Amino acid sequence: MTEIKQWIVEEPGLDLHCELGEGPFYEPATNTLRFVDIKKKQLHTVNIAQGSKSLETLQLDMPVGVTADIEGVNPQEKILVAGKSGIYILERKTGSYELLKRFYDTAEKDERLRSNDGAVDPQGRFWVGTMNDFWLRDVFPEGSLFRFNPDLSRTTLKASLKIPNSIGWSLDHKTLYFVDTTSNHILAYDFNPEDGSISNERIFYQHPGPGSPDGFRIDEEGFIWQAIYGGGKVLRISPEGKVVGEVRFPTRNITCPCFVGKELWVTTAGEEDENEVESRKFGGGVFRVDVGVGGVRMFEFKLQRGV
């Protein structure tokens, strides 16, 4: 039986009570971390060395699920975001944005759905999943997994999804990992880097509960660090799909990790259960823990037109 290494985190590094903290993204040039609060429609930025006193918040007028850098563009000025109706260029100083490409071609779908998670692939294409917006108060199999190419052409890879979640690639870029939260598993696909197609779907990891898989990141050894929403932990999963490590937190709704050097910085969501006193106390905070390994670099969207 594989010995599982454990880390225990007792309090947040940033105690700011996001409703739905998500999308942590490290910017090494400025040693800052950006992350979103999807429900509050906010983009937060914090300097790693200075901590909470450096926290800056940009109020938006739409929910943003995930952000990415654009090749050749200073991320302090403009970044790529997946928002309410599609993918956008966000001006970070003003909060204004430009719609690049819609998810859907009908107003009804625009209204019912929003972005959730996503990532840029090694060839500079942006992958994004959509799910029902909060006002519907439930999730239905109406979401999709999209790929946006540098020329802004759009391809639908999967449809009829409830909560499509994190996306990432193996170290050799031959495998794409994709979280289907409502099915409690991580799927794996053969990935064709030339055209971005996927094939040979199989279950890579099935989570037994409690909680469900949310966001993940991949470390430099090819292991997945998988947040468990409702389970109060991040799991380290080997390339063979075996749990070999576990980071425990004092709140239940863990949403997504991000590597900052050899530390994990981890976003969380608020706790709605009034009986979960400790979880409510720390829910929505951002946590940090030294795990002794670094992550793979994040890829940039290779937008063909100017910004």
Eight-state DSSP code of residue 10: -
Residue of 62, 37, 44 whose CA lies nearest to 113 = 62
Show the CA angle centred on residue 163, arms to residues 161 and 169, nearest 5°: 90
Positive or negative, the CA dihedral 55, 117, 89, 150 is positive
165 is in an annotated binding site: yes
Strands 243-248 and 5-8: parallel
What residues form DSSP beta bridges with 178? 167, 187
Is 214 designated active site?
yes
Strands 164-169 and 175-180: antiparallel
Contacts 24+ apart (CB under 8 A), 130-139: 130/103, 130/161, 130/164, 131/161, 131/162, 131/163, 131/164, 132/162, 133/63, 133/84, 134/39, 134/63, 136/112, 139/163, 139/182
For residue 167 the two structure tokens come to: 């996306």
Task: Tell me which of 61, 214, 219, 290 is the catalytic residue.
Answer: 214
Q: How far apart are alpha carbons 126 and 282 in whole angstroms?
A: 32
116 is in an annotated binding site: yes
108 is in an annotated binding site: no
Which residue stretches of 79-202 are H helix?
107-112
31 is in an annotated binding site: no
Burial (CB count <10 Å: 0-12, 13-18, 19+), residue 108? exposed
22 is in an annotated binding site: yes
Q: Active-site positions?
A: 214
- Residue numbers in the known binding site for substrate are 114, 116
- Residue numbers in the known binding site for a divalent metal cation are 22, 165, 214
- Residue numbers in the known binding site are 22, 114, 116, 165, 214
